[in-house]
Amino acid sequence: MKTIIKHNTIKYSIDLSKPLDISIPITGGNTNVNSWYLPPPKIEPHSEGKFIGKVSQGGSTNFNDIYFNPHSHGTHTECVGHITEEFQSVNQSLSKFFFMAEVITIAPEKIGDDFVISKKQLQYALGNKNREAVIIRTLPNLSEKKSRQYSHTNPPYMLEDAAKLLLDKGVEHLLIDLPSVDKEKDEGNLLAHKAFWDYDGKVRLNATITELIFVANSILDGKYFLNLQVAPFENDASPSRPVLYKIEE
């Protein structure tokens, strides 16, 4: 089902019947993607007295309790409230949900014991393109990312000046297939988070970072429309489902 979207006075054609979902769902159990030293999420039937929320066990309905942390257990979108003393809700930060986005692929480079995304790599991948959102797929890009246990593995991360480049280019929404844009153990410095949100300047309350996405290899680098939807939690972060739409020529 093709439809026409008007964006900044220019009309684009997209096919709404061909969504490209780049989220990792929360499934519960040990095979769920995980980070930040937490136990796996749990999805289990609620029980109370004689009631059991599972039809196959005699209950009248399936009625599950879910225990998870959005930062650890799947694709999530966060606002600057992730690092501020003052409460900020990602549900209030997003007032639009469609954005012009660029998918780029980067092989993090080795510096010392770390693998990092550098400013030079981002500049090369983006060139002079101006996008509201940038989606970063890192190499190697294996399906095991959807169930990887990241804790204590020192995953790749983004250098501060790379995040500052995105700020300077006016990128409002950063999406990446890593558990964090920052080094796993950085003594709480969070340099890339702070640079992207301009934490020490004019704080960008409407900018978001989405982590733990998965961009299939079949999705080519290039320009897409991004539909970024979050579950309506009044929290600094929420599970999210970013979906791409190819722009028809």
Supply the range of the domain harboring residue 7.
2-26+70-248
Residue 38 placed within a domain: no
Share of the chain above pLDDT 90, in %: 94
Q: Among 186, 185, 188, 163, which Cα is nearest to 176's?
A: 163
Residue 240 placed within a domain: yes
Rg of the chain taking only CA atoms, in angstroms = 19
pLDDT at 39 over 90: yes
Q: What is the pTM of this model?
A: 0.96
Residue 35 placed within a domain: no
Q: What average pLDDT does the structure give for the chain?
A: 96
Residue 119 placed within a domain: yes
How many whole angstroms separate alpha carbon 11 and alpha carbon 207?
25
Residue 42 placed within a domain: no
Q: What is the mean pLDDT of residues 45-68?
A: 97
Tell me, what's the pLDDT at 116?
Answer: 98
Residue 33 placed within a domain: no
CATH number, domain at 202? 3.50.30.50
Residue 32 placed within a domain: no
How many whole angstroms separate alpha carbon 78 and alpha carbon 97?
14
Question: Could you give the number of structural domains in the chain?
Answer: 1
- Which position has the higher pLDDT, 5 or 121? 121
Residue 54 placed within a domain: no
For residue 173 the two structure tokens come to 């929404």
